[in-house]
Amino acid sequence: MKYISTSFLQLAVFVILLSLLITFLNMFGIPNPFYNPFDRPAATPRPVTPVSGSLGADEQATIDVFKQMSSSVAYIINSKNRDSMLELDMMDLPQGSGTGIVWDHDGHIVTNFHVIENAESIDVTLYDQSVWRARYVGGDPNTDLAVIRVGAPQSRLQPILLGTSHDLQVGQKVL
């Protein structure tokens, strides 16, 4: 009887240690090695209903602005250096992301302060999918604005087009 209880205790300790290991791996973004997404039955796709009708003038104007300005949008990843438990070395782990706009051909990018707050490294992906390391230039947490700068060549930077505000009317739509 003592042998059975010892084996049961060993099994219980093993199960607990295994679940702690999986939880620990998940904390560092390492997927569960025992999970296989292909073991699940395939989902049945739902039918897609085509959009009918023409676009309104307001919708078309928004689409046109997006098409014209999307090359000025940058994707920003804020990373922090962490010890890698598996490789015994430092690695950059993303801690946040967001977007910004290319301000000029000198590589200045305007973003929200919370996007780059506490960053140890900042990587920026431009519209052409090129990735550049950025450096913090300055910012203000109270207004949630920040400026970073990349060393990309001018040919890869598409600064946002700026409009004027002196002739705006109350209630006018601004994008």
Which has the higher per-residue pLDDT, 16 or 76?
A: 76
DSSP for 90-130, written as a single string? EEEEEEEEEEEEE--TT-EEEE-HHHHTT-SEEEEE-TTS-
pTM: 0.63
Q: Is 170 exposed, middle or buried (0-12, 13-18, 19+ CB in 10 A)?
A: exposed
Q: Which pLDDT does position 31 carry in this prediction? A: 67
Per-residue pLDDT of 61-81, as tens digits, reads 889 988 999 999 999 998 876
Provide the pLDDT for residue 157. Answer: 96
Mean pLDDT of all residues in the chain? 84
More confident residue, 72 or 22: 72
pLDDT in tens, 96-134: 889 999 999 999 999 999 999 988 899 999 999 999 999
Among 27-41, 47-61, 112-126, name the most confident range.
Answer: 112-126
Residue 151: partners with Cβ closer than 8 Å, 6 or more residues away: 107, 132, 133
Task: State residue 14's pLDDT score.
Answer: 83
